[in-house]
Structure 1
Amino acid sequence: MILTITPNPAVDLTWHVDRFEPGATHRVATGASRAGGKGLNAARVLQATGHRVLALATAGGATGDELRADLEASGLPHRLITMSAATRRTVAIVDDRTGEASLLNEAGAPLLPTEAVALADAAEELGRTARAVAICGSLPPGFGADELGGLVERLAAAHVPTVVDTSGSGILAAASAGARALKPNREELEAATGHDEPLAGARSLLDRGARLVVVSLGADGLLVVPRDGVPVRARLPRVLHGNATGAGDAVVAAIASSLADGDEPWAATDAAAHARARLARRATAWSASAVLMPLAGELSPDHAELADEVRITTIDEDDR
């Protein structure tokens, strides 16, 4: 089983418009509403690709009831920690002409101390029986970098491979606590480390204690940087247009599946090099296929064919 943890889930509202113009009035078809947040999106991808998964999240208020009802209807295995405040909402407006999505993300209400403890305790209990754990998304007040770092330390002590996808001080704390893998995008990496060059930023997280950093580079693909061995870059030779809001979550799902398979792509061995290439190909294909779907957490049926298109090079080859 792969466990995903979403400390700050949301009810995701998505509308598609033919052409989005700021300040204008748009008449749209009925939008979509579903349980969202990075960990839930990653869990949906994992389930769709045949992995046994359990999604852990918080839920509260009327929006929490909506989130719970959608998870039950979808058949996604889950456990929810009840919180006193209402679950947040996010709004995505997708311009079908350009494929760009404009996002409005509520910050999320604070977790009470008892709620934060309940979330961490449940995560450790469930994580001990998991083949891999993915901790994803923004951190609500009350469950910040210190709490995240403490949870990663507890999972690391139990020898559970963990991938973390968050930003700011949270990703620094996860690296220092011994997360096996981290998945920032280019902007998050620069903001957290101060390095505008992705390889240098990734190396700084590895120096803190992480073993692998996978950097999302948008249309430029992604970068897989191990603690030892040669980094690789992966990309599609063409640009796909669509809704990119779930692309990074698909990358997290690919990393979690690699860890669950027992891969150790951070080493300086031939087996690790093959694992890095395999991970890079899968993550790029899943990310690209997520862009083609209208809602986050879904993969296009073409993801296997897209994997055949992925071009993988080592950083040494790129530099030449």
Structure 2
Amino acid sequence: MILTVTPNPALDVTYTVPCFRPHTSHRVTGVATQAGGKGVNVARVLTALGRPARCVLPLGGPTGDAVRTELTAAGLDHAPVPIAGDTRRTVAVIDPTDATMLNEPGPVLDPAEWDALVAETRRHLPQAAVLVLSGSLPPGAPVDGYAQLVTLGRTFDIPVVLDADGPALLAALPARPTVIKPNASELTTATGLPDPHDAARTLLRRGAEAVLASLGADGLLAVDTHGAWRCAPPAAVTGNPTGAGDSTVAALAAGLSGNAGWSAILPDAVALSAATVLHPRAGHFDDAAYRRLRHSLTASRVGAVSPFAW
């Protein structure tokens, strides 16, 4: 079982419009709601792939009730932690070429609620093969919240995947997450370096054991102490990019649970991410496109890490 922790879940509301333009009115052609948050999306994709997954997440108020109801209806294994505040909502406005996101900050978690989330995570770790930590930390959470959870996962001797950015990411690096998954912008923000190879190696020196970086249309770059690997889709994919990174994390977690190497993980992650862009909602993917792409992709080694870098 792959355990995902989503400290700041949401009820995702998706509006579909023919062509989005700011500063004007739109006629909405479709509305969909579902439980969301990055770790929830990861678990949803894993479940669709036939991989057992369980979500740990704080839920509260009427919106939290709606999230819990949808998780149950979707057949997603979940372990909610009650909180006093109302769970946040996110709104995605999508058209055939892109998506515009409106993300609420989320409810404040007090120290007792954060401790309850950590305790609930600990309760499920003995059954977990991989721990996935995804998304923003909610208001009130300690800045080293992810560091606490990474340390907890490592005490159970399982891989820990961290998909976070900003101070939450940097504070977690000394706890030595197995793999971190920033995108190109997050790499530059975290290190001040424009080159993704240099930025990834800097994050390795700060504590990450490996970096899997999303580079948009250029695919994925994996860097660890043994070298670097790349894999990219054969052509740019247009659609709704929301959730594509979560599908990358799902493929990564599935690969780590089977001790797969980058040569197997990267093509699977690129194919699954691209197939997610082709679906209008996060946490879902175009299965036919995924299988077609998966068989056409290979990962290439693009260099070893020089000894002087360490």
1:267 maps to none
How far apart, in 2, do the equivalents of 1:201 and 1:225 lie? 10
**Alignment CA distance shift 1:133-1:255 (3 Å):** same
1:244 maps to 241
1:266 maps to none
State the shift of 1:311 in Å: 4.5
SS at match of 2:144: helix
What count of residue pairs does the alignment treat as equivalent?
A: 303
Amino acid at match of 1:109: P
How far apart, in 2, do the equivalents of 1:253 and 1:289 lie? 13
- List runs of 5+ in structure 1 lacking aligned partners: 264-274
State the shift of 1:205 in Å: 1.3
Using the aligned pairs only, state the percent identity: 42
Amino acid at match of 2:161: V
1:92 aligns with 2:77: no
State the shift of 1:170 in Å: 1.3
CA contact (8 A) 1:128 1:160 kept: no
1:147 maps to 145
User: What does the per-residue CA deviation read over 1:15-43, in whole Å, with 9 as the maximum and x for residues that have no partner?
Assistant: 11111111111111241111000000000
Amino acid at match of 1:22: P
SS at match of 1:231: strand
How far apart, in 2, do the equivalents of 1:234 and 1:145 lie? 33
Give 1:104-119 correspondences, 5 Å limit.
104-119=102-117
State the shift of 1:160 in Å: 1.9
2:269 maps to 283
After TM superposition, what 4+ stretches of structure 1 lie above 6 angstroms from structure 2?
Answer: none
- List runs of 5+ in structure 2 lacking aligned partners: 305-310
SS at match of 1:31: strand
1:177 maps to 175
User: What does the per-residue CA deviation read over 1:176-227, in whole Å, with 9 as the maximum and x for residues that have no partner?
Assistant: 1011010011111111121111111111111122211100011111101112
1:21 maps to 21
How far apart, in 2, do the equivalents of 1:171 and 1:195 lie? 16
CA contact (8 A) 2:263 2:298 kept: no
Amino acid at match of 1:181: V
How far apart, in 2, do the equivalents of 1:316 and 1:76 lie? 40
Output the aligned Cα RMSD: 1.3
2:307 maps to none
1:314 maps to 301
CA contact (8 A) 2:18 2:29 kept: no
CA contact (8 A) 2:262 2:299 kept: no
1:188 maps to 186
CA contact (8 A) 1:41 1:297 kept: yes
How far apart, in 1, do the equivalents of 2:262 and 2:67 lie? 35
